[in-house]
Amino acid sequence: MANSLLLEISVETAEAAVAAERGGAQRIELCVQLRVGGLTPGEELMRLVRESVRVPIFAMIRPRACDFVYSPQELAQMLRDIGAAQRARMDGIVLGVLSKNRQVDVERARELVMAARPLPVTFHRAFDAVADLDAALEDVIATRATRILTSAGAATAAAGIDKLARLVSAGKERVIILPGGGINASNVVQVARQSGARELHSGLGSALAYGQEDYKLFEDEVRKLTVQLGSATS
C-alpha cells in the first residue's frame, strides 16, 4: 500500500472535533443528530468548530431525516445552509439528493455542487439507497461531486467490501470512494486493503454515546484507528 491513508471522523460537537484531531483524524465531518445519520449544523456551531481545530472540516447539508427526496423549499434551505458553511470557512460540503424513483437527482445535486464551489462536495450515503450502484456512480460523477461516502449498499463497509473495491476501481481518477459504516480499529485495515480506498470514514458511535461527554475515550478510539492505519502503510 502507498504511504498515505486519510481518516475522516464525524462529530457533532466542538469538543468531539478537538478530541478527534488530537487522536489523529485528518478531516472532520460536522453534523448534528448523528443518531439519524447527521443533519445540518448551525452556523454558530460551524464557526465554533472552525475556531477549535486546524484540520479540514466538511459540513453536512441535510435539512431533515428520513429520505433524500427534497421539496423546492427544502432545496432552497440547503442552498442557504451552503452559504452559511462558506461564511463559516468550512472546507467542504456533504450532501445527497435522490429522485422519487430512487436514483441520484443529477440536476438538483449539480445545482447544489455548483453553489458550493470552490468547496469540494461529498455525496453522502444517500448513495446507498439507490438500486443500481453502478449507474449511481456515473450519476454522482455527472454532478461534479468529488467524493462518495458509501458502504456500497451494505449494512457496513466491511460487509460491502467487494462492491466497494469495484466502485473504487470504477471511479479511478474521476471520483474518490470514501468507505464508511461500522468502521473501527478492528476492521479499518481490512477495509482499506481490500477496497483499495485511500480515504476512510468513521463515526465511532459506540465510543461516544449520545449525551455522553467522555471525550478522552473518543480521542483514544480515534487514535486506535490512526495507529492501525499507520501499521497498514508502514
What is the pLDDT tens value at each position of the chain, 234 positions in all?
Answer: 445 899 999 999 999 999 999 999 999 999 999 999 999 999 999 999 999 999 999 999 999 999 999 999 999 999 999 999 999 999 999 999 999 999 999 999 999 999 999 999 999 999 999 999 999 999 999 999 999 999 999 999 999 999 999 999 999 999 999 999 999 999 999 999 999 999 999 998 655 554 556 899 999 999 999 999 988 776
pLDDT for 153 = 96
The H or E element spanning position 199 is strand 199-202
Write the burial class of residue 52 (CB in 10 Å: 0-12 exposed, 13-18 middle, 19+ buried): middle
Confidence (pLDDT) at 231: 83
Short-list 208, 218, 231, 232, CA closest to 35 = 208
Residues 167, 152 contacting (CB under 8 angstroms): yes
Per DSSP, helices labelled H in 172-214 are 188-195
Q: What is the pLDDT of residue 234?
A: 63
**Cell for 50?**
472552525
- Element of type H or E holding 178: strand 176-179
State residue 207's pLDDT score: 57
Tell me, what's the pLDDT at 4? Answer: 83
Fold of 6-233: TIM Barrel (3.20.20)
The pLDDT assigned to 138 comes to 98
Residues 6+ away with beta carbon under 8 Å from 63 = 39, 40, 70, 74, 77, 78, 81
Q: Can you tell me the distance from the alpha carbon of 222 to that of 104, in angstroms, rounded to the nearest whole number?
A: 32
Instruction: Return the pLDDT at 1.
Output: 42
pLDDT at 2: 47
pLDDT of residue 232: 75
